């Protein structure tokens, strides 16, 4: 086991600054026999959930932290007032410090500090101040950070007294959990720090701790990291001139660090002392739903009862006659939903859909696997009877797999915000937030960005990127493209130094985050303030707050995530209905239109579908002309086939429909399942039914196989 661990590390969640992934950080710890490692991205906790989960899985102790931006003089709410009082001279004044969560209290306080830095202190960076640190210091270890830190910055400027004053302040706040951080990147700035910190340590009784300001894993990645820093540069800076002035901010081995700090008593050992203070166990199991309020006039004793009452009322409204098949399916779904603890989820969804419709907001009839639920239909969440189309409940909610339901809801795009506003009114605006998403550097994007910094001509770049294909909707990686695309052989074999460097550096940065933005649909609803569960950030603007965890990590934390999708098609339909009413005095109930209208199918057969959702592209219109659809099933099949992968079967499907090709089945027992699609497996439901029929699996087991 290593005698040193790294406590100051940045990943690509330090946007356009860190040049390594969470996985590579953890792998570096494993490679160097370090039993623990910290994550301390700049001002954010974007990567914390991913880091914690993956480190635990790898057998590495995760130390959750952040390199915070702190205002030393004045308040986080000040907007650039200079220290000399000159209002006209504005600055981005802040310094750095490292905060590490010792326990759950520390984690919650770290989350709160990160959130408030964004929501109250953002000015160029998310800044906190001494007031917040005094309020939220419990459970945190604090170190003085880099050359731009709360103590070091004064030593660099030869102001020992101010450095001492600041060190005393933080010692008063954090006690023995405050450490003076020393680094040695062989830079001029390091010298006054390495001279002054031991003196402060001795005078004030504050322990030293050795760190490296890791921004990438391998020393050879220094140029790639520098190129990343230059992505937003417009001056044409030479990429070989390192902005950091050093190639030493890599993940050094224990031996390197011990040798580097052999003259600084206790600085190496104190990394292990800090690690021993960390006892953080984050519980990402269970579900954290907001409490749905049962109406006072209801006789229901709990959510399960109220859910079943509403669902059964809807059942009787939807069906004039309830057959044994309908009753059995309904009871099975209700029992499954209650056993899995999702009654509250369904109540929340049906409530905001019902409220949106009552407010005149167009809502889609159903999207995705939720259309397979009879209960979703009876509650008005969808407007599709799954029994009529052989849709399976297990495809949506599998009792054998404890995963959250996922109901995507379409709203008219110009009214989507009103639907979200209703949820804020219902559960409290502090309990509702939209969700962050990260734009990653695909092979094409990273080649363009790196090429721009390397000043490679655009026509050369376009020649490369236009030859990189996509498969199943995913762009090939650089490695895949070079190995599989003949048109790129010249790139792989090129002796041109610029081309070699382009590929070399692009490969290092490929797949990393480029920037953060707001997810187009995701909304999280929590029982208490969102920031009690996940930190918040203003990734887009000062007023546009989002969670710092992405959709995947929100779900892994057991939080209620909803997709509020803005669909232009619904807006167009609403406007068209309004014009028909205005100009012809005809009212059309869009939820009850005939699905067998011959003239409508004639339009589809002629490819006259411009403006029709998912049927308007030129290739799709050409396929429709060949298919001559006559039923809704034909349209559903074509919609399912027109995707990467199944697209190869479109011609065969059409030929089988018209008898130009023979319709065959792998086994006679598959005919009832595949007859509608002429022997071709088109839907995932068919995969489940085949496994059920041939292998004798339950529908739940078959869904897992799928």
Q: Bridge partners of 288?
A: 559
Whether the Cβ atoms of residue 475 and residue 440 lie closer than 8 Å to each other:
no
Token pair for 570? 């619904």
Q: For residues 386 and 374, give the distance between their C-alpha atoms in angstroms, rounded to a whole number.
A: 6
Q: How far apart are CA 164 and CA 159, in angstroms?
A: 9
Nearest-angstrom CA–CA distance, 602 and 25: 59
Q: From the CB of residue 653, how many other CB atoms can be counted at a distance below 10 Å?
A: 23
pLDDT score, position 225? 98
Task: Report how far residue 228's alpha carbon sits from residue 223's, in angstroms, rounded to the nearest whole number.
Answer: 9
Task: Give span(s): CATH 3.20.20.140, the chain.
Answer: 22-277
What is the pLDDT, as a whole number, of residue 525?
95
Task: Look at residues 140, 131, 156 and name the one whose alpha carbon lies nearest to residue 107.
Answer: 140
How confident is the model over 390-436, as pLDDT tens digits? 999 998 998 877 777 889 999 999 999 999 999 999 999 999 999 99
Query: What DSSP string runs through 664-678?
Result: --SSGGGHHHHGGGT
**Below-50 pLDDT ranges, the chain:** 82-90
Residues 167/244, Cβ–Cβ less than 8 Å: no
Q: Answer yes or no: CATH 2.60.40.10 is held by domain 303-437+518-569.
A: no
Q: What class has domain 22-277?
A: alpha beta
pLDDT at site 42: 97
Look at residue 470 in the predicted model and tell me its pLDDT: 83
Question: For 442-511, which CATH class?
Answer: mainly alpha
The model carries a pTM of 0.88
| Residue-level pLDDT at 320 | 93
Tell me the two tokens of residue 629: 């659809």
Report the distance separating Cα 35 and Cα 29, nearest Å: 7
In degrees and rounded to multiples of 5, residue 65 shows phi and psi of -155, -170
Continuous segment of H or E residues that includes residue 461: helix 458-465
* Exposure b/e, 303-327, CB count within 10 A at least 16 = b: bbebbbebbbebbeebbeeeeeebe
Which ranges in the chain are annotated with CATH 1.10.10.1600? 442-511
Residue spans in the chain of domains classed CATH 3.30.1900.20: 303-437+518-569
Helix (H, G, I), strand (E, B) or coil at 183: coil
Q: Are 461 and 448 in contact (CB under 8 A)?
A: yes
Closest CA to 342 of 282, 431, 403: 403
The answer to whether 41 and 18 are in contact (CB under 8 A) is yes
| Cβ pair 375, 384 in contact under 8 A | no
What angle separates helix 22-31 from helix 48-58, to the nearest 10 degrees?
Answer: 30
* Structural element, H or E, at residue 484: helix 478-484
Two tokens at 64?
Answer: 């959750």
- Write the DSSP string, 232-292: T--S---TTS-TTS-S--B---HHHHHHHTTTSTTTTHHHHHHHHH--------S-BPPPP
Which two tokens mark 262?
């052999």
Decide if 277 contacts 102 (C-beta within 8 A).
yes
User: Parallel, antiparallel, or unpaired: how do β-strands 61-71 and 127-129 relate?
Assistant: parallel
């Amino acid at each position: 086991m290593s005698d040193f661990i790294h406590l100051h590390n940045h990943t690509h969640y330090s946007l356009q600054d860190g040049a390594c992934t969470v996985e590579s950080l953890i792998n570096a710890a494993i490679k160097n026999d370090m039993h623990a490692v910290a994550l301390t991205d700049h001002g954010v906790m974007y990567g914390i959930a991913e880091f914690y989960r993956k480190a635990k899985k790898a057998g590495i102790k995760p130390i959750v932290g952040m390199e915070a931006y702190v205002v030393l003089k004045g308040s986080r709410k000040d907007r650039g007032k200079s220290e000399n009082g000159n209002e006209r001279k504005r600055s981005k004044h802040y310094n750095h410090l490292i905060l590490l969560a010792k326990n759950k209290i520390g984690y919650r306080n770290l989350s709160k500090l990160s959130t408030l830095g964004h929501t109250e202190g953002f000015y160029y960076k998310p800044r906190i101040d001494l007031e917040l640190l005094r309020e939220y210091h419990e459970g945190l270890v604090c170190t003085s950070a880099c050359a731009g830190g709360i103590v070091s910055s004064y030593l660099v400027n030869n102001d020992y007294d101010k450095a001492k004053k600041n060190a005393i302040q933080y010692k008063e706040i954090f006690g023995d959990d405050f450490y003076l951080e020393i680094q040695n990147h062989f830079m001029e700035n390091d010298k006054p720090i390495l001279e002054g910190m031991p003196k402060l340590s001795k005078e004030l009784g504050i322990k030293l701790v050795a760190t490296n300001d890791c921004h990438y894993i391998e020393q050879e990645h220094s140029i790639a990291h520098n190129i990343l820093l230059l992505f937003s540069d417009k001056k044409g800076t030479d990429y070989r001139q390192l902005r950091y002035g050093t190639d030493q901010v890599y993940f050094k081995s224990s031996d390197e660090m011990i040798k580097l700090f052999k003259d600084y008593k206790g600085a190496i050992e104190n990394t292990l002392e800090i690690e021993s203070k960390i006892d953080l166990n984050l519980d990402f199991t269970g579900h954290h739903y907001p409490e749905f309020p049962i109406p006072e006039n209801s006789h229901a004793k709990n959510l399960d009862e109220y859910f079943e009452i509403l669902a059964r009322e809807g059942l009787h409204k939807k069906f004039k006659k309830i057959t044994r098949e309908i009753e059995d399916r309904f009871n099975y779904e209700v029992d499954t939903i209650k056993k899995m603890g999702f009654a509250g989820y369904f109540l929340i969804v049906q409530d905001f859909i019902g409220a949106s419709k009552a407010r005149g907001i167009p809502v889609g009839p159903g999207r995705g696997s939720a259309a397979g639920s009879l209960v979703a239909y009876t509650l008005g969440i969808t407007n599709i009877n799954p029994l009529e189309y052989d849709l399976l409940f297990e495809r949506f909610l599998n009792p054998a797999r404890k995963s959250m339901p996922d109901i995507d809801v379409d709203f008219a795009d110009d009214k989507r915000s009103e639907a979200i506003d209703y949820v804020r009114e219902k559960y409290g605006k502090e309990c509702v937030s939209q969700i962050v998403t990260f734009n990653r550097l695909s092979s094409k994007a990273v080649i363009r960005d790196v090429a721009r910094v390397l000043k490679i001509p655009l026509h050369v770049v376009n020649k490369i990127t236009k030859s990189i294909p996509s498969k199943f909707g995913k762009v090939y990686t650089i490695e895949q493209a070079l190995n599989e695309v003949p048109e790129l052989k010249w790139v792989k074999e090129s002796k041109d130094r610029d081309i070699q460097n382009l590929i070399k550096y692009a490969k290092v940065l490929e797949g990393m985050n480029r920037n953060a933005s707001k997810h187009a649909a995701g909304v999280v609803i929590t029982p208490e303030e969102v920031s009690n569960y996940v930190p918040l950030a203003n990734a887009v603007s000062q007023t546009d707050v989002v969670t710092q965890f992405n959709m995947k990590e929100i779900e892994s934390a057991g939080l209620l995530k909803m997709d509020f999708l803005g669909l232009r098609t619904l807006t167009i339909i609403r406007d068209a209905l309004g014009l028909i009413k205005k100009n012809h005095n005809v009212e059309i109930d869009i939820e009850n239109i005939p699905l067998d209208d011959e003239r409508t199918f004639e339009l589809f057969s002629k490819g006259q579908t411009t403006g029709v959702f998912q049927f308007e592209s030129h290739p799709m219109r050409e396929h429709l002309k060949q298919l001559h659809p006559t039923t809704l099933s034909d349209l559903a099949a074509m919609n399912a086939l027109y995707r990467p992968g199944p697209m190869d079967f479109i011609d065969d499907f059409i030929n089988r429909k018209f008898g130009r090709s023979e319709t065959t089945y792998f086994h006679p027992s598959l005919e009832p399942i595949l007859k509608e699609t002429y022997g071709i497996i088109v839907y995932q439901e068919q995969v489940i039914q085949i496994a059920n029929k041939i292998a004798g699996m339950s529908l739940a087991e078959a869904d897992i196989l799928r």
